[in-house]
Amino acid sequence: MFSPNDRGFQDRLSAAAQAKKALLEKAKAKLNADDPATLERRAAREAIIKARNERLAAKESERLAAEAARKAEEERIAADKAAREAADKAEREARAAALEAERQAKREAQLAARKGRKVRDLSWLSGGASQDA
């Protein structure tokens, strides 16, 4: 049941501890601030971060400029639409006023014609019919 390659629990624990210690020493060696390779990597990393931040800032400013242009275009379109609607409304009102004035004039003409006809039709009462007869 037991194989000669089996290690005990304590052996596995000590192996894990040694592996952790080796990783920690390796990490400490990388963190050495005086090491030129570390300084070079840090400078390269900072340059990459700076370039990324500049690209993001440029992209954000382009996005904001595009947003502002889009809003300005929408406002211009809305103003044009409002002006067109106001002109159309004024034209409709003028047309309606002209039509109403025309109707009123026609109505007054019909009324005057009707009154004139009645006067003409009733003119025979005043003696005009006796002259014809």
Q: Is the per-residue pLDDT at 18 higher than 70? A: yes
The C-alpha atoms of residue 55 and residue 88 are separated, in whole angstroms, by: 49
pLDDT at residue 5 in the model: 65
Both tokens of 75, joined, read: 């406002």
Q: How far lies 3's CA from each of 7, 8, 13, 43, 93, in Å?
A: 9, 11, 19, 53, 105
Q: How many domains does the chain have?
A: 1
Structural domain of residue 117, as residue ranges?
A: 10-123
Q: Is the per-residue pLDDT at 118 higher than 80? A: no
Q: Is the per-residue pLDDT at 114 higher than 60? A: yes
Residue 94: which pLDDT band, with cuts at 50, 70 and 90?
very high
Both tokens of 32, joined, read: 């050495």
Residue 79 lies in a domain: yes
The C-alpha atoms of residue 133 and residue 122 are separated, in whole angstroms, by: 16
pLDDT tens, residue by residue, 19-58 = 999 999 888 777 776 778 778 888 999 999 999 999 999 9
- Torsion, CA 90, CA 93, CA 94, CA 97, rounded to 10: -160
Average pLDDT, integer, range 63-69:
97
